[in-house]
Amino acid sequence: MTLNRQPIPVFDAVTKVVENVTHIDTETVKLEDSYNRYLSEDLTATHDVPLFTRSAMDGFAIRSADSGKGAAFTVVDEVLAGSTSDYELKENEAFRIMTGAELPKSADTVVMFEQANIDGDTFTIRKTFDAFDNVAMQGEECKKGDIIVHKGSQINPGTVATLATFGYAEVNVYRVPVVGVLSTGSELLEVSDELERGKIRNSNTPMIMAQLERIGVHAKRYDLEEDNLDTLLEKIEKMFNEVDAVITTGGVSVGDYDLLPKVYEKLGAEVLFNKVAMRPGSVTTVARAKGKFLFGLSGNPSACYSGFELFARPAILLMQGSARAFAPFVNATLGEDFKKPNPFTRFVRAEIDFVDGKVISKPSGFNKSNAVTSIARSNGVIVLPGGTRGFEAGDEVQVMLTDVTSGVSHFSIRQ
Amino acid sequence: MTLNRQPIPVFDAVTKVVENVTHIDTETVKLEDSYNRYLSEDLTATHDVPLFTRSAMDGFAIRSADSGKGAAFTVVDEVLAGSTSDYELKENEAFRIMTGAELPKSADTVVMFEQANIDGDTFTIRKTFDAFDNVAMQGEECKKGDIIVHKGSQINPGTVATLATFGYAEVNVYRVPVVGVLSTGSELLEVSDELERGKIRNSNTPMIMAQLERIGVHAKRYDLEEDNLDTLLEKIEKMFNEVDAVITTGGVSVGDYDLLPKVYEKLGAEVLFNKVAMRPGSVTTVARAKGKFLFGLSGNPSACYSGFELFARPAILLMQGSARAFAPFVNATLGEDFKKPNPFTRFVRAEIDFVDGKVISKPSGFNKSNAVTSIARSNGVIVLPGGTRGFEAGDEVQVMLTDVTSGVSHFSIRQ
């Protein structure tokens, strides 16, 4: 039993995780199944956008040379969106044209309905129009061959629209990792079990499954029949055969009955770290075995929650090539005193609000590592740097936005 | 054809939508299917948390009265997590105890392993321990009957953990609305169609389906065989029978071939507004018929995108009772000049980044209402108030965070 593990700073721990990520394989999915996946190749324009020079307004297409104060026009043809006209305009003739319709070659500008005095099939205008007023030019947004978004981008609704525009009925993406979740601890009951003296219900497995779902990853749930080394080792070896990454909760402390350190040893796993200078969750351990991550999160719900967000979430997104794998850290005003200093970085579950454009954060309730209810009220985590001083309400602190689907490109914690 | 619709401010338009929301019915779902749903009743604690007074550390449980500098103890029993002991400690006796285990009644404090000089089954300590040091007291986090989160809260991973803790294998939530999506416009091709002169592929339907998926709503896709009034009216009547809300794109302008205004009339719909003082998407229309919303979004992709985020998204979340239905607005530094003033509020698709805790926003590319590729690069929308002045790089502006799963309680736009 080694009591004296050497704690490493949170930033260093995250860095060790990042350095050990390997990309998962790729696959082809249908456009309609592509939302929230990560592109495994650059998305390239298959044609100019706009595809053809078109009217940006409902109005009359004319030759700009014919325009001027009081100029009168006769409407000779009509071009609806989706239709075209090859009619050659003569002097002071006009097309009636709708937004999105191809601008006929013989016209070069569009007079909006609101800019015309209309009288049956004729109209007059009050000013000169320049060529290409109220017109969207072919290729003004992008050219065929342009890279629109890069490999590693999350496919958001705008990406879906872009893929559709360019005729990509299918798209190449990284596969979504299968992540196995297993909670250890002989005190654990299942959700539908009656309470027993000395025991509590397992909340970590369903919580982590929801944290995975939040990033679009479906978890595979495992349960432990008996809480002993042989059973646990066998179960984790089975998980390694079935999943791309393993998350366990509990059993990572230094107590005699904390089995994970022994499992890591038996597996021949490389332990990246087993002590992080943070509260809660200092015993959080990340290891690698058989080319896969093994996240050993604390059994305390709050520690488990932030351990997942700090280490497992970015790793799982980076496995999918994500270019924005980290939760944003944003400055916020602290809503409550934390007078007692702590040498370790503290993570406090917080309710974040946006008031007058400013980010306000207040602790979301009871704040101990074993707290569970405060997580339910939180949409972020206040970060209190470790050191010799406490913090007061009104201090500017950092907040990690956990309830954000999009992230940022760098882990930017101040500690 | 009425050209002179009266524009209303964005805030007023959103308010009109909010005022017309009615809650959808409720249902019971399994805990494992509850993530991202909205609670239809308060979540109440079914027992104290902690459920019993327990050790917060691995160590030795003793009677605090026996503690003091140099006091020696003999270990007489062991209490693992999940087990209990009714042994009555005598003077200077101790239990070995693990984190999470019930504190036996005859002990009242815990000495951490690190605080003890251990020698076989005995140990000495260096100081006096107060009652309940290193102990988590029954009910210190919450009491049986406490409301943990209120009706209307989104079920986040922490809520899932809380439900599991309290033995809720099922939970009552609002039903997820079924939303029908239909794009109009005779210029539209499908994603797998070859391009034709004057036509473009339909990007709005897949985009909106992804925007709906982002808020956990599955869309029902409709397609129009022919772009005329009878076909459209028949299709929308069919949609009304099958869905809880209807979203259309295109056909809301004032042109002769814009059919939606005629459909609203035929349906006897109440048009809440059909002109909003915003760019792009000033023609965005929201109507109510048969107790259901009809969102008439612009056919221009960028206008369609922000119209959805401003009006459809909060309405669909509010139908589910959401207490945080609006996208957060946060102050950010503008990264580019927008010198030309505009009387209308402008929405500019933007790439938001979080640098040193500050929010930085820059336009994500080509910025016209018909732009599609810039949406793919955006995770937010810059809001430029309408008026007589332009904006310069470095100005503080508001940004609507569109790529955020959690929201805020009030629509707080400055205009």
List pLDDT tens digits, range B264-317: 999 999 999 999 999 999 999 999 999 999 999 999 999 999 999 999 999 999
Q: Is B87 exposed, middle or buried (0-12, 13-18, 19+ CB in 10 A)?
A: middle
* Distance of alpha carbon A23 from alpha carbon B407, whole angstroms: 32
Cis peptide before A280 (omega within 30 of 0): yes
Pairing of strands A179-183, A245-249: parallel
Summarize the confidence of residues B374-383 as an average pLDDT: 89
Token pair of B51 as six digits: 């459920």
- Is pLDDT above 60 for B73? yes
Spatial separation of the C-alpha atoms in residues A350 and A383, rounded to whole Å: 10
The two beta strands, A358-363 and A329-334, are: parallel
Classify domain B54-136 at the CATH class level. mainly beta
Which tens digits make up the pLDDT trace of B217-251?
A: 989 999 988 889 999 999 999 999 999 999 999 98
ipTM: 0.93
Per-residue confidence band for B351, with pLDDT thresholds at 50, 70 and 90: confident
CATH architecture of the domain with range A29-49+141-174: Alpha-Beta Complex (3.90)
Asked whether the beta carbons of B193 and B54 are under 8 A apart, the reply is no
Nearest CA in chain B to A2: B114
Note the pLDDT of residue A404: 59
Q: Which of B168, B329, B403 lies closest to A405 in CB terms?
A: B403
Q: Mean per-residue pLDDT for B170-190?
A: 96
Q: Is the alpha carbon torsion for B246, B249, B254, B259 positive or negative?
A: negative
Residues of B in contact with A99 (CB under 8 A): 253, 255, 299
Reply yes or no on whether the pLDDT at A406 is more than 70.
no
Q: Which residue has the higher pLDDT, A399 or B138?
A: B138
Which pLDDT belongs to residue B412?
37
And the tokens for A166?
A: 């360019």
What share of chain A in percent tops pLDDT 70?
95
Q: CB neighbours of A60 closer than 8 A, spacing ≥ 6?
A: A73, A75, A94, A95, A96, A97, A110, A111, A113, A116, A123
* Phi-psi sector, B329: left (phi>0), alpha (psi -120 to 50), beta: beta
Name the one residue in this structure whose structure tokens are 């700073």: A9
Residues constituting chain A = 415
- Asked if A162 lies within 8 A of B372 by C-beta distance, the reply is yes
A405 pLDDT above the threshold of 70: no
Mean pLDDT, chain A, whole residue set: 91
- Beta pairing class for B245-249 and B179-183: parallel
Closest-CA residue of chain A to B409 = A353
pLDDT at residue B353, as a whole number: 81
Contacts of B195 in chain A (CB under 8 A): 47, 51, 167
Identify the bridge partners of residue A112 per DSSP, sorted by sequence position. A59
Residue A317 corresponds to which tokens in the numbers above?
């997104």
pLDDT band at B409 (very low <50, low <70, confident <90, very high): very low
Confidence of residue B411 (pLDDT cuts 50, 70, 90): low
> pLDDT value at position A10?
93
Tell me: pLDDT of A38 over 80: yes
Tens-place pLDDT, residues A62-71: 999 999 999 9
Say whether domain A10-26+176-319 belongs to CATH 3.30.420.10. Answer: no
3-state DSSP assignment of residue B142: strand
The verdict on a CB contact (< 8 Å) between A210 and B35 is yes
Percent of chain A exceeding pLDDT 90 equals 76
Token duo for residue A62: 């004319």
**What pLDDT, on a 0 to 100 scale, did the predictor assign at position B258?**
84
Nearest CB among B358, B404, B408 relative to A404 is that of: B404
Q: In chain A, where does the domain assigned CATH 2.170.190.11 lie?
A: 54-136
Report helix, strand or coil for B37: coil
> Dihedral of the CA atoms A252, A258, A263, A264 (nearest 10)?
30
More confident residue, A332 or B239: B239
**Chain B contacts of A202, Cβ < 8 Å?**
164
Query: What is the enclosing helix (H) or strand (E) of B25?
Result: none
Confidence of residue B408 (pLDDT cuts 50, 70, 90): very low
pLDDT band for A352, please (50, 70, 90 cuts).
confident
Mean pLDDT of chain B: 91
Q: Which CATH number fits domain B10-28+176-319: 3.40.50.150, 3.40.980.10, 3.90.550.10, 3.30.70.20?
A: 3.40.980.10
Is B35-47+143-174 CATH 3.90.105.10?
yes
Which of A162-166, A225-229, B385-389 has the highest average model confidence (pLDDT)?
A: A162-166
Nearest to A186 by CA among A221, A225, A236, A234: A225
Give span(s): CATH 3.40.980.10, chain A.
Answer: 10-26+176-319
**CATH class of the structural domain A329-400:** mainly beta
- As a whole number, mean pLDDT of residues A119-130 equals 97
Among B277, B298, B254, B306, CA closest to B387: B277
Inter-chain residue contact A354 with B136, CB threshold 8 Å? no
Question: Are residues A206 and B165, on separate chains, in Cβ contact within 8 Å?
Answer: no
User: Which of B191, B113, B275, B255 shows the shortest CA–CA distance to A257?
Assistant: B113
Residue A88 distance to chain B (closest CA, Å): 17
Amino acid letter for position B33: D
> What are the residue ranges of CATH 2.40.340.10 in chain B?
329-400
The better pLDDT of the pair A410, A241 is held by: A241
